[in-house]
Amino acid sequence: MKLFAILVLYIVTINNSFSQEKYFTNKGFISFYSHSPIEDITANNNQVLSVFDTQSNELVIYGLMKSFEFKKALMQEHFNENYVESDKYPKTSFEGKVAGYNSSNKEQTVDIVGVLSLHGKSKDIKTKASLTEQDGLLTLKGDFTVAVADYDIKIPRTVINNIAKTIKVSFDLAYKPYNK
């Protein structure tokens, strides 16, 4: 929780002159889905922090690994202790841009381009997302896939067939204007 508070402070102080061009959420949603012939695994995180600057199109997203929730407690324990090593690598982050954003369009498809950092590794990510504006609020939704091997996440041989080599990551970020 202390790390989360530090992340909030960091994002809010990135630029002291926040204005109506900056949107913020601390209740964003990220999930991941692993499909394998033996087992499907889903985890959800509803405590994602994000800032979107519509003037510069910069996008920053932070999530704590221990905030992912699984249906089975044992899966959550293995995820945190054995796979992503949450004590050693407590957060995931994305820093990039929303390309193609047009403030006059209420519904649009945009390109998300940037770097996803996870488990001590950083990789380029590019995906399409939907961006909608309603009543002064912005919502950014999309998904992309990541290869487990790209982030040096080791899967024990005993469960290698239970976890997909490629994981689908989905996001749903509902922003409010940031007001000082």
Which of helix, strand or coil describes residue 66?
Answer: helix
- Tally the domains of the chain: 1
Give the rounded distance of the alpha carbon of 114 from its chain centre.
12
Q: Which domain holds residue 148?
A: 2-10+30-177
**Residue at 20 is within a domain:** no
**Residue at 24 is within a domain:** no
**Residue at 81 is within a domain:** yes
**CATH number, position 56:** 2.40.128.110
Q: How many CB atoms lie within 10 A of CB 169?
A: 19
Structure tokens at 58: 């910069």
**Residue at 107 is within a domain:** yes
Q: Give dist(CA 71, CA 43) in Å, integer.
A: 8
Tokens 């005993």 sit at which residue? 158
Tokens 């041989």 sit at which residue? 157
Which of helix, strand or coil describes residue 105?
Answer: coil
Task: Name the H helices within 52-170.
Answer: 73-78
Q: Is 175:137 a contact under the CB 8 Å cutoff?
A: yes
Residues in the chain: 180
Which of helix, strand or coil describes residue 115?
Answer: strand
pLDDT digits (tens, 9 = 90+) for 64-89: 999 999 999 999 999 999 899 999 99
Q: Which amino acid would we find at residue 118?
A: L
Q: Could you list the pLDDT tens digit for every one of the 180 residues in the chain?
A: 555 555 555 555 554 444 468 999 999 999 999 998 888 999 999 999 999 999 999 999 999 999 999 999 999 999 999 899 999 999 999 999 999 999 899 999 999 999 999 999 999 999 999 999 999 999 999 999 999 999 999 888 888 888 899 999 999 999 999 986
Q: Is 56:91 a contact under the CB 8 Å cutoff?
A: no
pLDDT digits (tens, 9 = 90+) for 14-27: 544 444 689 999 99
